[in-house]
């Protein structure tokens, strides 16, 4: 319930309400207002949807995210005919649905392909005495990307069926769960990268992290925690402290960054490097991500000291080896559903990966600087596929190398050969 509460709060802060009463000259709500038709008009620069109403009424509009939706509520309105979704709208909208609720509010929900900001305006009454309410969906340069085909689903074989919840309840008396701490990058005053259509990294990665958490929590013997559960700022060190506090067996930071080249695309996994970065891009990215620390008021000098301490901490070798192994599993599971930017786990001096004894990965889910990828990452179904594949990679690793004292380890010893 606690998590659910926060979840709700997060949803509601996105809601920008606008309530306007237009035309006070006619008595409001005296009669049911009829929605006579909805006319959709497509031009190179915008898509408009115009509601033709028999008389004036109250309305409100607001946006919701993940997935992106635009909602129009009309008070005391009924429709007399079925409304159709025109093909011409597909470049901007992925559909709409509507219903009249018991309290007389007619609600129409427009599914948006990207996070655009529709505008609402009231047009003058036409020659048929109809009141017209118009929604304008602006077209940005990239908003008219064709709809992506559904990603290919490939079966990834994991022997999930052999462990079930009943087994877990039976023998978990003295065994602990494997703890995975998921760190949605950025947050609050640090939005992270931004896509050309306005998608913010901090929102995308929180959504993917929440799905990943639910996926992991469904596995018997596993428990996942988030470092942040809504839109607020955490320093990199606070994130590390949470992983330590939760006694994490693994830490995974989720990001979606940008690159100078808008063509750059694909999924990548990073582990800590004790020496140099494995590529110039990895070095550049680590520098970028480490900057988040500066926003918390840490001095540059302190920052370089932190980086130095990363480089000299030799006790991390074993942890890095484990991180690389988990990362390899993740890449293998993600490969069937997403393009890999790099086929192997890359390494660089990410501050957020510097826990000396907790295997840690930083996952770049894709590039928000690539409009096609921005669009894909905003898609809830793709987010689910990605989270599912990441979960499977982690699961495969821990099935093979379960930490001591965990139920998965106990189960493996007692059931593996029976």
Nearest CB to Zn ion, comparing residues 203 and 409: 203
For residue 334, with 0-12 CB atoms within 10 Å meaning exposed, 13-18 middle and 19 or more buried, which class applies? Answer: buried
What is the Cα gyration radius of the chain?
25
Q: How many other C-beta atoms lie within 10 A of the C-beta of residue 104?
A: 15
Number of residues that bind Zn ion (CB under 5 A): 4
Contact flag: residue 359 with Zn ion (CB under 5 A): no
- What minimum distance in Å lies between the beta carbon of 362 and Zn ion? 8
Report the C-alpha gap between 406 and 337 in whole angstroms: 31
Which of the ranges 15-23, 124-132, 249-257, 259-267 carries the binding residues for Zn ion, by CB under 5 A?
249-257
- Residues 252-291 binding Zn ion (CB under 5 A) are 255, 257
Within 228-279, residue ranges assigned H as helices are 236-245
Q: Please say whether the beta carbons of 211 and 383 come within 8 A.
A: yes
Which of the ranges 186-194, 208-216, 302-310, 336-344 carries the binding residues for Zn ion, by CB under 5 A?
186-194
Which of the ranges 59-67, 98-106, 247-255, 338-346 carries the binding residues for Zn ion, by CB under 5 A?
247-255
Nearest CB to Zn ion, comparing residues 255 and 376: 255
Which of the ranges 121-129, 177-185, 271-279, 300-308 carries the binding residues for Zn ion, by CB under 5 A?
177-185
- Residues 316-345 binding Zn ion (CB under 5 A) are none
Q: Please say whether the beta carbons of 32 and 106 come within 8 A.
A: no
Nearest CB to Zn ion, comparing residues 273 and 292: 292
Counted residue by residue, the chain has a size of 418
Q: Please say whether the beta carbons of 42 and 85 come within 8 A.
A: no
Nearest CB to Zn ion, comparing residues 186 and 412: 186
Among 187, 192, 195, 402, binds Zn ion (CB under 5 A): 192
- What minimum distance in Å lies between the beta carbon of 374 and Zn ion? 14
Nearest CB to Zn ion, comparing residues 90 and 288: 288
Place of tokens 């669009």: 375
- What minimum distance in Å lies between the beta carbon of 255 and Zn ion? 3
Phi, psi (5° rounding) for residue 8? -65, -45
Nearest CB to Zn ion, comparing residues 135 and 271: 271
- What minimum distance in Å lies between the beta carbon of 201 and Zn ion? 5
**Helix, strand, coil percentages, rounded to 5, for the chain:** 35, 25, 40
Place of tokens 């099935």: 399
- What minimum distance in Å lies between the beta carbon of 238 and Zn ion? 16
Residue number, nearest CB to Zn ion: 255
Which of the ranges 62-70, 181-189, 333-341, 400-408 carries the binding residues for Zn ion, by CB under 5 A?
181-189
- What minimum distance in Å lies between the beta carbon of 308 and Zn ion? 22
Phi, psi (5° rounding) for residue 87? -60, -35
Q: Please say whether the beta carbons of 79 and 34 come within 8 A.
A: yes
Residues 6+ apart with CB under 8 A from 234: 187, 188, 227, 228, 242
Report the C-alpha gap between 99 and 111 in whole angstroms: 15
DSSP output for 7-22 = HHHHHHHT---EEEE-
Nearest CB to Zn ion, comparing residues 322 and 364: 364
Q: Please say whether the beta carbons of 168 and 220 come within 8 A.
A: yes
- Residues 8-67 binding Zn ion (CB under 5 A) are none
Nearest CB to Zn ion, comparing residues 10 and 255: 255
Nearest CB to Zn ion, comparing residues 31 and 238: 238
Encoded tokens for 350: 């990410």
Q: What is the DSSP letter of 261?
A: S
Nearest CB to Zn ion, comparing residues 233 and 401: 233
Q: Which helix (H) or strand (E) holds 89?
A: none
- What minimum distance in Å lies between the beta carbon of 364 and Zn ion? 7
Which of the ranges 152-160, 163-171, 250-258, 313-321 carries the binding residues for Zn ion, by CB under 5 A?
250-258
Which of the ranges 88-96, 123-131, 224-232, 248-256 carries the binding residues for Zn ion, by CB under 5 A?
248-256
Nearest CB to Zn ion, comparing residues 131 and 193: 193
Among 184, 185, 327, 366, binds Zn ion (CB under 5 A): 185
Nearest-CA neighbor of 117 among 34, 187, 46?
A: 46
Contact flag: residue 371 with Zn ion (CB under 5 A): no
Interacting residue ranges for Zn ion, rule: CB under 5 A: 185, 192, 255, 257
């Amino acid at each position: 319930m606690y998590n659910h509460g926060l979840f709700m709060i997060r949803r509601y802060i996105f809601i920008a309400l606008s309530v306007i009463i237009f035309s006070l000259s006619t008595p409001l709500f005296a009669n049911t207002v009829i929605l006579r038709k909805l006319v959709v008009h497509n031009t190179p620069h915008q898509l408009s949807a115009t509601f033709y109403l028999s008389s004036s009424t109250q309305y409100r509009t607001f946006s919701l995210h993940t997935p992106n939706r635009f909602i129009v509520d009309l008070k005391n309105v009924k429709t007399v005919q079925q409304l159709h979704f025109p093909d011409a709208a597909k470049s901007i909208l992925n559909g709409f649905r509507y219903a009249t609720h018991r309290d007389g509010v007619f609600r129409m929900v427009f599914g948006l392909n990207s996070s655009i900001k529709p505008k609402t305006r009231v047009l003058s009454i036409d020659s048929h005495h109809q009141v017209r309410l118009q929604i304008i969906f602006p077209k940005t340069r990239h908003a008219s990307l064709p709809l992506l085909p559904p990603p290919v689903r490939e079966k990834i074989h994991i022997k999930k069926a052999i462990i079930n919840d009943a087994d877990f309840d039976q023998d978990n008396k003295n065994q602990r769960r494997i703890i995975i701490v998921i760190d949605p990058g950025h947050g609050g005053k640090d939005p992270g990268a931004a896509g050309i259509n306005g998608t913010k990294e901090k929102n995308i990665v929180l959504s993917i992290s929440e799905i990943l958490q639910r996926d992991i929590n469904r596995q018997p013997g596993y428990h996942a925690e988030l470092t942040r559960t809504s839109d607020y700022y955490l320093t990199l060190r606070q994130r590390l402290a949470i992983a330590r506090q939760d006694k994490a067996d693994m830490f995974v930071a989720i990001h979606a960054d940008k690159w100078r080249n808008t063509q750059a695309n694909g999924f990548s996994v990073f582990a800590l490097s004790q020496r140099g970065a494995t590529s110039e891009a990895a070095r550049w990215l680590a520098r970028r991500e480490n900057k988040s620390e500066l926003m918390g008021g840490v001095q540059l000098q302190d920052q370089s000291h932190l980086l130095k301490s990363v480089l000299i901490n030799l006790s991390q070798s074993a942890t890095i080896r484990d991180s690389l192994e988990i990362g390899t599993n993740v890449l293998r599971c993600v490969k069937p559903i997403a393009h890999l930017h790099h086929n192997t786990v890359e390494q660089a001096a990410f501050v957020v990966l510097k826990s000396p004894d907790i295997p840690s990965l930083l996952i770049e889910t894709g590039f928000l600087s690539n409009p096609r990828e921005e669009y894909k990452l905003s898609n809830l179904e793709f987010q689910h596929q990605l989270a599912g594949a990441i979960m499977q990679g982690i699961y495969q690793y821990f099935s093979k190398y379960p930490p001591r004292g965990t139920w998965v380890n106990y189960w493996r010893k007692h059931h593996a050969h029976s």
